[in-house]
Amino acid sequence: MKPFIGIQAGHQNIESNCAFALRGGTGAPGEKDNNIRIRDRLGQILISKGFQVQLDDANANCQKNTIGKDFDFYIALHCEANTHGKGGGFLAAPDPAFDSVNIESKRIVKAIKDEYFKNTGIEEHEEWITTAMTQYYMWSSLTAKTPCGIIEMGVAQDAHDKVILADTDRVANAIARGICKAFNIPFDAPQSPQEDPRDRRIKELEKEVEDLKKQIVELQKRPVSCPPAADPRKEQALIDIQHIINNL
C-alpha cells in the first residue's frame, strides 16, 4: 500500500468555511499564495516518490472527503507573519489532547524537521509555537488514526525568507525529503555503479601477460641447439612483456 498523505494549503478558500469563526483567518500578507504553490509542488514530488496524495484547501474540516479518511500523515502548510523582527519557521505536532496517535505524529514531524531547516536555510524557531498550532482546527476533524502536523515554512514578508519561499522546488523538496525519511522511502534515486574504463584495460593487459607467459613456457620446451640460435619469437615475446609491464 502506498503511504497516503494529506496536504492542506492554509487559508485557501477559508472565507467560505463551514465554521463561521474561521472565516476571517485569511493568513499573513502574502502567505496564502505560498501555501498553495508549495502544496501543489509537494504533491507532485510525493507522487513521483510513490506516495498517494490528497490536496486540500483550508475548508477540509467541512469536507467528508477528508474527515472520514485515515491518512498516514496529514500536514498543514503555513507561513508565519512578520512579527518577530526576523525570519524563521517551525513544525509542531498536535497537543496530545487533540491527537490519539501523538507519538506517530511527533515521529513524523521530527523527521521533517531534521530535513527541512538544513535543506532550505530557514532558521528554526520552536519558541514561536503557539496553541493556534498545537490545537489547530483540523486536528479535531481528522480521524483518530491520522497522525498530523503543521509547518510554518518561513516568514512570508521577511526579506531573507521571502526569497527562499519563492523557490518552490527548494521548499517543497525539503518537506518531501522529511516525509520520505519518515516513511523509509529513498528520496534520492540510488546511483548505479559506474564502470571505470581503466579496470577493463587492466584485465586486457593481465590476459596478454598470461598469454605471453604460456608462449614462453612453450618456447622453453623446445630442444635448443648448442650454441642456441636466437629465436625471433622469444625475443619478440620478451619485448612485448617488457612493454606491457612498463605500461601497467
Collapsed DSSP state (helix, strand, coil) of residue 208: helix
Nearer to Zn ion, 27 or 89 (CB): 27
Nearer to Zn ion, 108 or 133 (CB): 133
* Least CB distance to Zn ion at residue 44 (A): 22
Dihedral sign computed on CA atoms, order 37, 146, 68, 10: negative
* Least CB distance to Zn ion at residue 80 (A): 8
**DSSP-assigned states of every residue in 212-224:** HHHHHHHHHHS--
Residue nearest to Zn ion (CB): 78
* Least CB distance to Zn ion at residue 79 (A): 6
Nearer to Zn ion, 3 or 87 (CB): 87
Nearer to Zn ion, 164 or 237 (CB): 164
* Least CB distance to Zn ion at residue 36 (A): 12
* Least CB distance to Zn ion at residue 152 (A): 7
Q: What are the DSSP E strand ranges found in the chain?
A: 4-9, 52-56, 73-80, 90-92, 148-155
Nearer to Zn ion, 35 or 66 (CB): 35
* Least CB distance to Zn ion at residue 9 (A): 10
Q: Please name the residue that has the C-alpha cell 622453453.
A: 220
* Least CB distance to Zn ion at residue 31 (A): 5
Closest CA to 66 of 141, 144, 150, 149: 141
Contact 72, 145 (CB under 8 A): no
Cell, residue 92 = 509542531
Footprint of Zn ion on this chain (CB under 5 A)?
10, 27, 78
Contact 103, 149 (CB under 8 A): no
Residues β-bridged to residue 80: 155
Sheet holding 90-92, edge to edge: 52-56, 4-9, 73-80, 148-155, 90-92
Nearer to Zn ion, 30 or 121 (CB): 30
- How do beta strands 90-92 and 52-56 pair? unpaired
Nearer to Zn ion, 10 or 88 (CB): 10
